[in-house]
Amino acid sequence: MSTINLELISQVEQFYFREARMLDNRQYQQWLGLLTEDIIYRIPGRHAAFADPKKKETEAFLDVGQELSQGLDTPLRDENLLILSVRVMRAFKQNSWTDNPPARTRRFVSNIEVLPDSKPDEFKVYSNLMLSYSRHQKDNYLYTAQREDQLRLVNGEMKIARREVILDWNVITAPSLSLFF
């Protein structure tokens, strides 16, 4: 099990700030270098769940996990490195209507919490994300989400091995989910 200390927390924070800068500067190919070859990138769908009366008066009664797509429900995104690479390459095509003209984005990453994982070279990290999206000089949206990541040290470099983005919305009113969260 990995030891969590202030130096590691600072490294993780700097990693996330660098990732946000890369994505906001549309350096998508460089961003792919921050991912492991076996990356799992998920955005589960979210719905308004009815409370289970059996769980009344426990924290499970209010558990966010009850609102997320599981099993037969289709997630909004369930991708690996190949699919993410295709999405990156599409951004450079003139006929990609979701990427041309490119959106202006700004990512704000906060509430970074680093926890040890069962493997010595991996960490579980929770963070909050607010993403400002502007396109066509008229569309302005704010996406907010919690991210649950698994970071792995690969040859001394931090990489994202797993990312689950839990959007705060259950009804998507923004024009695109083609963004990288």
Single-letter amino acid, residue 8: L
At 147 the pLDDT is: 98
pLDDT digits (tens, 9 = 90+) for 73-120: 788 899 999 999 999 998 887 776 666 678 899 999 999 999 999 898
Domain ranges for the chain: 6-167
Question: What DSSP character marks residue 138?
Answer: T
- Mapped onto helix, strand or coil, the DSSP state of residue 66 is helix
What architecture does CATH give domain 6-167? Roll (3.10)
Cβ burial, residue 70 (10 Å; 0-12/13-18/19+): exposed
Q: Structure pTM?
A: 0.86
Q: Distance between CA 142 and CA 91 in Å, rounded?
A: 21
Look at 54 and 13; give whichever has higher pLDDT: 13
Peptide bond into 101 cis (omega under 30): yes
Q: Distance between CA 121 and CA 173 in Å, rounded?
A: 39
With a pLDDT cut of 90, the percent of the chain lying above it is 60
The whole-number average pLDDT for the span 125-138 is 90
The whole-number average pLDDT for the span 137-162 is 93
